[in-house]
Amino acid sequence: MTKPKNNIIVRELVNKYQANCDRITEIADACEKEKRERNEAENAEFEALTRENQILQMKMQAAAAEHLRENPNAIEEATRMIRENSAQGQRTEILLVRDMMMVSDVNSGGIVPLNIQEIMRPLQEGFILDKVGLPMPTGLAGDYVWPLYENVDAELAGEGVELTDKKIKLSKLRATPERVGIAIPVTNQSLNQSQGILEMIVREIMPLAIRRLLNKIICSPNKVNASTKLTGPFVALKAKATTLSAVPTFKELNGMKAKMFETGIEGSNACWVMTKSMAAILEGTPINEKGIYVPMIQNGVLCGLPVYTSNEIRDTDGTEFIGLGDWRYQPMGLFGDIRFIVDPYSKARKDAVDFVLNADYATITVRPEAFALGKVAKVV
């Protein structure tokens, strides 16, 4: 196990970091409840807390690096701690911070720092979000706000003619983080009999479930549930989606692109999103059936823009949609830490261990005009 002195230092760093995060959350909750901005005192406290947390993260990373140098079998040590705690009915907490994690025993104070890639693959892996260039900052705290301004026009004026005053309209958009989570109960018998089930849950199943949900939030033309504000750009566009043929034509799709660019969006990061089946159809469909055979999608490019696939853009009734957008205008942020709890208490009557993962994400469509949606007609 970690040396006692280093163990105490790491525990103190983690506790202080978590306390700071809790205080930041309290400030954000108060502002949201009272429907106001942070006051001067809260701003000063917020900035001090975030600065301190950055320093704490660096110290924790240094402690983790030192521990890993001295303990090359840290993963096995962490796994053993989780199994022993589960057998003894003790809870294990796993705190994920940036590029590292802390596996801690809440009763004895034992703690094992790990590199995050060693025990949980990055959540960006397998993301369509990562492929389309969607900004995804992590470790956020407080408010997720974007200041906006409207364009103003210059004017021609003759010599000595006074220019007309112009006003710049300022506004802002605010995204509210919402909890994303998953819980998987596993009986102690299954846990003891299978040497790989713990690792499979931590490394594969739970991160994959979160990835799939975030993909669905961003790409789906429907809300994940009625009350959520965590939606992608296509939800608002569904009712006014451009009507496309059962097999969309090059002219129709290029028209979608032209209409989006007419709004003034630069589109340097624009791309198409469609289902894998629709991409396969367009790869076999010529641009002009009467001319030289040139597939609509060539080398993953359609109308000069890259094509990425996600089956989440299909509607619940099977209707196909094709989305287009510049994803710089749909940032998604991870607030605070990913919280992973191994809980042997709540399912004790069933002799089961509850694996629970929670995280807070926020996303918002900064520029709705940067996105377009086409609805593919059903074959009658």
User: In terms of domains, do 54 and 137 share one?
Assistant: no
Whole-number Cα distances in Å, 274 to 14, 156, 182, 259, 271: 43, 46, 27, 18, 10
Question: Do 48 and 175 fall within a single domain?
Answer: no
Report yes or no: 300 and 267 within 8 Å, Cβ to Cβ: no
pLDDT of residue 102: 66
How many CB atoms are located within 10 Å of the residue 297 CB? Answer: 21
- The DSSP code sequence of 107-118 is TT--EEEEEHHH
| Same domain, residue pair 182 and 127 | yes
User: Is the per-residue pLDDT at 261 higher than 80?
Assistant: yes
pTM over 0.85: no
Rounded CA gap, 26 and 21, in Å? 9
Highest mean pLDDT among 99-113, 134-148, 297-311: 297-311
Q: Are residues 97 and 228 in the same domain?
A: no
The percentage of residues in the chain with a pLDDT greater than 90, rounded to a whole number, is 17
Residue 157 lies in a domain: no
Please indicate whether residue 294 or residue 95 has the higher confidence score (pLDDT): 294
Report helix, strand or coil for 249. coil
Of residues 119, 39, 125, 22, the one with CA closest to residue 77? 119
Q: Which domain holds residue 44?
A: 1-119
Contacts of the segment 17-21: beta carbons below 8 A, 24+ positions apart? 17/53, 17/56, 17/57, 17/60, 17/97, 18/95, 20/49, 20/52, 20/53, 20/56, 21/53, 21/141, 21/336, 21/337
Q: Is residue 162 part of a domain?
A: no
Helical axes 40-70 vs 4-34, angle rounded to 10°: 150
Residue-wise pLDDT for 32-52, tens only, equals 788 777 888 888 888 888 888
- On whether both 107 and 235 belong to a single domain, the answer is no
Residue with tokens 């004895």: 108
Average pLDDT over every residue of 2-12: 60
Q: What is the mean pLDDT of residues 354-366?
A: 82
Residue 20 falls inside a structural domain: yes
Bigger pLDDT: 67 vs 232: 232
Residues 101, 137, single domain; the answer is no
Q: Is 258 in the same domain as 337?
A: yes
163, part of any domain: no
User: Same structural domain for residues 362 and 240?
Assistant: yes
pLDDT at 237: 94
CATH number at residue 239: 3.90.1690
Whether the pLDDT of residue 238 is over 90: the answer is: yes
Q: Please report whether residue 165 resides in a domain.
A: no
**Domain count of the chain?**
2
Indicate whether 135 and 115 sit together in one domain: no
Task: Say whether both 307 and 180 belong to one domain.
Answer: yes
Q: Residue 111 in contact with residue 102, Cβ under 8 Å?
A: yes
Q: In whole numbers, what is the pLDDT of the chain averaged over residues?
A: 75
Q: Are residues 232 and 326 in the same domain?
A: yes
pLDDT tens, position by position, 200-230: 666 677 777 888 888 888 899 999 888 888 8
Long-range contacts at 244-252 (CB < 8 A, ≥ 24 apart): 244/322, 244/374, 244/375, 244/376, 244/377, 245/376, 245/377, 246/376, 246/377, 246/378, 246/379, 247/281, 247/282, 247/285, 248/282, 248/322, 248/374, 248/376, 250/287, 250/288, 250/296, 250/303, 252/374
Residue 240: is its pLDDT beyond 80? yes
**Per-residue pLDDT at 207:** 76
Task: Determine, yes or no, domain membership for 198.
Answer: yes
**Binning pLDDT at 50, 70 and 90, where does residue 322 land?**
very high
In this structure, is residue 155 part of a structural domain?
Answer: no
More reliable by pLDDT, 174 or 222: 222
Q: In which band, very low, low, confident or very high, does the pLDDT at 3 lie, cut at 50, 70 and 90? A: very low
Highest mean pLDDT among 12-26, 30-44, 106-120, 244-258 belongs to 244-258
pLDDT tops 70 at residue 134:
no
Q: Are residues 237 and 282 in the same domain?
A: yes
Does residue 49 lie in a domain region?
yes
Task: Calculate mean pLDDT across residues 78-100.
Answer: 69
Fill in the DSSP letter of residue 370. G
**Residues 300/301/306/311 CA torsion (nearest 10 deg):** -50
